[in-house]
Amino acid sequence: MRRPLWPERLYVDFDSFFASAEQYLEPALRGRPVGVLPVDSPNTALIAASVEAKRAGVRGIMRRDEAEAACPGIVLRVARPDAYVALHHRIRKCLEAHVEVLAVRSIDEAVARLMANEAARARDLGEEIKRDFAATFAPCLSLSIGVAANELLAKIAAEMDKPNGLRVLLPGDLPEALAHLPLRDIPGISKGMEQRLHDAGVRDFPGLWALAPKHARKLWGGVQGERFVAALHGYAIEQPVTQKRMFGHGRVLPPDWRTPERMLVCARVLLVKAARRLRREGYLASSLTVSVRPHGGAGLAVTHAFAAARDDHTFIRALDTAFAVWRANAPPGKTKSVSVTLHGLSLLSQRQGELFADLPDVSAERWERVSDIKDQLQARYGGNSLHIGEALELPGGYAGGKIAFGRIPHELDFL
Ligand SMILES: [Mg+2]
């Protein structure tokens, strides 16, 4: 394993991105407490809160009524995924003017490579990036930067002084600089992993840091444990490559399936299939696009963003929302095909625990278990075992006409 001679990675993470994006896009909101909702409903939960709202006690993920109680002046906005994605591309361009971007990790996170000369002036470089962003966009669109030997440490460093943070971690700073971090604040330590570490007597960062490679392998159940601890020690460990960009399915509809009601049914079936593949391959998705194309036309695609999830319940709700938007904006004329894609992917193995620690009583973890159980039953009994909603017939197009949804084998899970 190689130990870099200088901090080779710079990690950028925007602060309260959806909320600060709203403040950037709507200048009247700057300096005011802002919360962003996935849908306009009284029973929903915030997916982002601005710095001002957080100061008043609002958390990034909090039920709407709780947020309004904690901060009566809070301004709520419904998320505009298209606008955030457009902003993301502009942000990336701005970042690329300063550093070599190696990978985009989410809509508001990216990792860059630093050369020796850049690393030597990492602090100044970080300040320059921040100044450029403040000038190009607005100071409300603030970002936190971490610089360290590898991506894991740089991401931790970016998290340490939020908001508007800038932290450079050098090999000599460890483990003291991170000794105070709760285990759950370290990307990759889930609730379950924390419990396993506790059971093994590891209760804090110094304990984690001191784990012998063999012990780490045993605790993680594989070589990734050893890699994780080596990364904490500043070795040049690359994150596993996120090869997948999306999971999706599409279908050309038979004429009797071209009504909005039946198209939605079809889209749900396609979605559930895509979601099963996503879970099988260990991913989370944070946005969904439903796209409907007419005969020989460009069609209309609607995207809906949400907090990263992997359960059918969340995905179906996102589809229903996106589909309602499509219906309200659908151009006249006959539609021909429908497709659903899940994107904004991240690896389950890298999920941070915070989302789940704070999630309101609408328990995402419970919905995930339901989906996992459904997958297991389907894998074991081959289908017909369990599904959400009514049993559906998928419009055919291959394998000899109509296929019962529950009996679709894995081989037919293609794009
Ligand atoms: Mg962020």
Instruction: Give the separation between CA 76 and CA 73, rounded to whole angstroms.
Output: 9
Distance 290 CA to ligand 1 centre (A): 26
Ligand 1 geometric centre to CA of 22 (Å): 14
Distance from Cα 83 to the centre of ligand 1, integer Å: 16
Going by their DSSP bridges, the two strands 75-78 and 34-37 should be labelled as parallel
CA of 20 to the centre of ligand 1 (A): 10
Q: Which of 90, 152, 160, 83 is nearest to 126 (CA)?
A: 160
Instruction: State the pLDDT at residue 324.
Output: 92
The tens digit of pLDDT for each residue in 244-283 reads: 678 888 888 888 888 888 889 999 999 998 999 898 878 8
- CB-based contact 395:266 (threshold 8 Å): yes
**What DSSP state is assigned to residue 43?**
T
pLDDT at 207: 95
Express each pLDDT in 62-108 by its tens digit.
Answer: 899 999 999 999 999 998 877 888 898 899 899 999 999 888 887 88
**Both structure tokens of 324:** 């309602």
Q: If you average pLDDT over every residue of the chain, what do you get? A: 84
- How far away, in angstroms, is 158 Cα from ligand 1 center? 10
Between these two residues, 411 and 182, which has the higher pLDDT value? 182
Residue 351 has a pLDDT of 65
pLDDT at 65: 94
Query: How much is the average pLDDT of 364-372?
Result: 78
Residue 93, token pair as written in the block: 């361009």
Q: What are the start-end ranges of the E strands in 253-327?
A: 283-294, 300-309
Q: Is the pLDDT of residue 193 over 60?
A: yes
Which of 180-184, 362-366, 407-411 ranks highest by mean pLDDT?
A: 180-184
Q: What is the predicted pLDDT for the residue at 228?
A: 93
Q: Indicate the class that CATH gives domain 247-397.
A: alpha beta
- Strand order of the β-sheet with 143-148 is 100-106, 109-113, 9-14, 143-148, 166-168
CA of 106 to the centre of ligand 1 (A): 9
Pick the catalytic residue: 8, 22, 52, 109?
A: 109
**pLDDT for residue 408 is more than 60:** no
CA of 243 to the centre of ligand 1 (A): 22
Looking only at the bridges linking them, the beta strands covering 143-148 and 166-168 are parallel
Task: Establish whether the linkage from the previous residue to 163 is cis, with ω within 30° of 0.
Answer: yes
Instruction: Give me the count of residues in the chain.
Output: 415
Could you tell me the distance, in angstroms and rounded to a whole number, from the CA of residue 92 to the centre of ligand 1? 14
Who has greater pLDDT, 57 or 190?
57
Give the residue with greater pLDDT, 390 vs 244.
Answer: 244
CA dist 230 to 17, 213, 227, 384, Å? Answer: 31, 8, 5, 46
Helix (H) or strand (E) holding 154: helix 151-160
Q: Is the pLDDT of residue 223 over 90?
A: no
Domain boundaries, the chain: 1-170, 174-239, 247-397
CA of 15 from ligand 1 middle (Å) equals 5
Taking the centre of ligand 1 as the mean of its atom positions, its distance from the CA of residue 116, in whole angstroms, is 27
Higher pLDDT, 27 or 309: 27
Ligand 1 center to 384 CA (angstroms): 41
Three-state secondary structure call for residue 198: helix
Residue 127 catalytic? no
pLDDT band at 397 (very low <50, low <70, confident <90, very high): very low
Nearest Cα to Cα of residue 390 among 265, 225, 292: 265
Residue 157 has pLDDT above 60, yes or no: yes
Same fold: 1-170 with 174-239: no
CATH fold for the domain made of 1-170: Alpha-Beta Plaits (3.30.70)
Q: What is the CATH number of domain 174-239?
A: 1.10.150
Report how far ligand 1's centroid is from the alpha carbon of 352 (Å): 12
As a whole-number percent, the residues of the chain with pLDDT over 70 amount to 85
Q: How far apart are CA 168 and CA 7, in angstroms?
A: 8
Residue 42 has pLDDT above 80, yes or no: yes
Q: Within its chain, how far is the Cα of 20 from the centroid? A: 17
**Average pLDDT value for residue range 7-18:** 95
Q: Which residues pair with 148 in a beta bridge?
A: 9
CA of 88 to the centre of ligand 1 (A): 12
Indicate the pTM of the whole model. 0.62
